[in-house]
Amino acid sequence: MANDPRTATHSGGNATFRSLFRLREYRAVYLATLINWLGDYLSRAAVTVLVYHKSQSVLLSAASFAVGFLPWIVGPLLSAIAERYPYRRVMIVADLTRMALIALLLVPHMPVPLMLLILLLAGLAAPPAQAARSALLPELVGRERLPLATALQQTASQTAQVVGYLAGATLAVALTPRIALGLDVLTFLFSALLVASGVRPRPATNPDSGRTHLLRETGEGFRLVFSHPLLRSIVTVVFTVTVFAIVPEGLAAAWAVEGTPGHSSSNLDQGLIMAAGPFGFVLGGILFSRLVPAHRRARLVPYLAVSMPLLLVPSIFGPPAPFVAALVMLSGLTQGALLPTLNANFTLAVPDGYRARAFGVVGSGVQVTQFTAVIVTGLLADHFRLPLVVGLWSIGGAVVMLLIVLSWPRQGLPEPAAGAGRMER
């Protein structure tokens, strides 16, 4: 019988890295996730180079990167599918599907429009796979270890982003983009094998007898997330963090050039700014999860939420790139402390049978807000000085966060959303 994440402790005392990695199923999912993300970021960087080489078009190259956001528009619907089947099977099928589709990009002389279509189709497998993985995690580690496990998953994502982008771009420029794509194909295969061999089968949380219409099931996920006070507060903070956290990464190239005009060091400055956030996130996630007791983490959420955009406000004065990178790193450190805590509390508050749908709502919202924030601030930066745009954007973020946390629910560890399990089907 699957462990109940609200009561299971796996008899290990306090949660530690050692106690987590003693769990065979968690090790398999963690390694599969890390390998999966590495391949994903590796191929994103390589595909942009490949498309640019074939088309000599900056627009098409950017489109090959942006197409990864599009599947998340229907992410909640796709995530509802993950609830209908065993999570393990969803993850395996999604990996094998992406493996087969990415392998098609290795075919020589493929037209760019067809490449973009393949990328779009491959991206459709990401929302259900990610939702299934997030929903399965509490069943693997139990309530006590969930915050630490969540922090490890999210810091692994940030690490994979830095390494994958760097390796993908390097392989694409120094050798050929197809080597990076070939490695991506292998990562999906290894990920599927790890999950198949390391995770035991479990029944679907929404079996045939409980199914209705897919759109209705998707709507139930939205209603659960936005009708429950704690869940609604958590997703509001997460979306707001995303709106203000993605800006340094999205504008790093222009920011570096504007900060060091006419100097070859602008590429290094861009790399510093882009890597600073993920580096800070990794550091903050690990330190906060290990050094701050669980009962204090929830109390610190409002303070962390306000300080995240506040740390970027000094950029309004147009400091040099290394100072900007330091600000971004501190902001990332705060995110690393904040988001895993919110993620774990969100997971604990969502009842069985709704987790994949709930995570689909959050995942899609994060992707859409990221895309929107980069587009809006990019348009503003075309008309005003970039440091001014980022500084004022961050001031606005601090004000919005302050208004949100003033109504933050004052409660301890979350309980499952009341009445969700009785929602009319």
- Other Cβ atoms closer than 10 A to 395: 15
Report residue 67: phi and psi, to 5°: -65, -20
Alpha carbon 213 to its chain centroid, in Å, reads 28
Eight-class DSSP state of 22: T
Q: Which of 362, 247, 241, 359 is nearest to 302 (CA)?
A: 241
Give CA–CA dist 274/269, Å, rounded. 9
Q: Convert the pLDDT of each residue in 359-400 to its tens digit.
A: 788 888 888 887 788 778 777 877 888 888 888 988 988 898
Domains and CATH numbers, the chain: 17-208 (1.20.1250.20), 212-415 (1.20.1250.20)
Predicted pLDDT of residue 291 = 80
Give CA–CA dist 365/230, Å, rounded. 17
**Count of residues in the chain:** 425
Eight-class DSSP state of 125: T
Q: Convert the pLDDT of each residue in 186-243 to its tens digit.
A: 999 999 999 999 999 988 776 655 556 677 777 877 888 888 888 888 888 888 888 8
- Other Cβ atoms closer than 10 A to 203: 10
Give CA–CA dist 38/154, Å, rounded. 13
Tokens found for residue 373: 């924030």
**What's the pTM?**
0.70
Interval 169-185 mean pLDDT: 73
Q: Which of 282, 324, 288, 291 is nearest to 304 (CA)?
A: 288
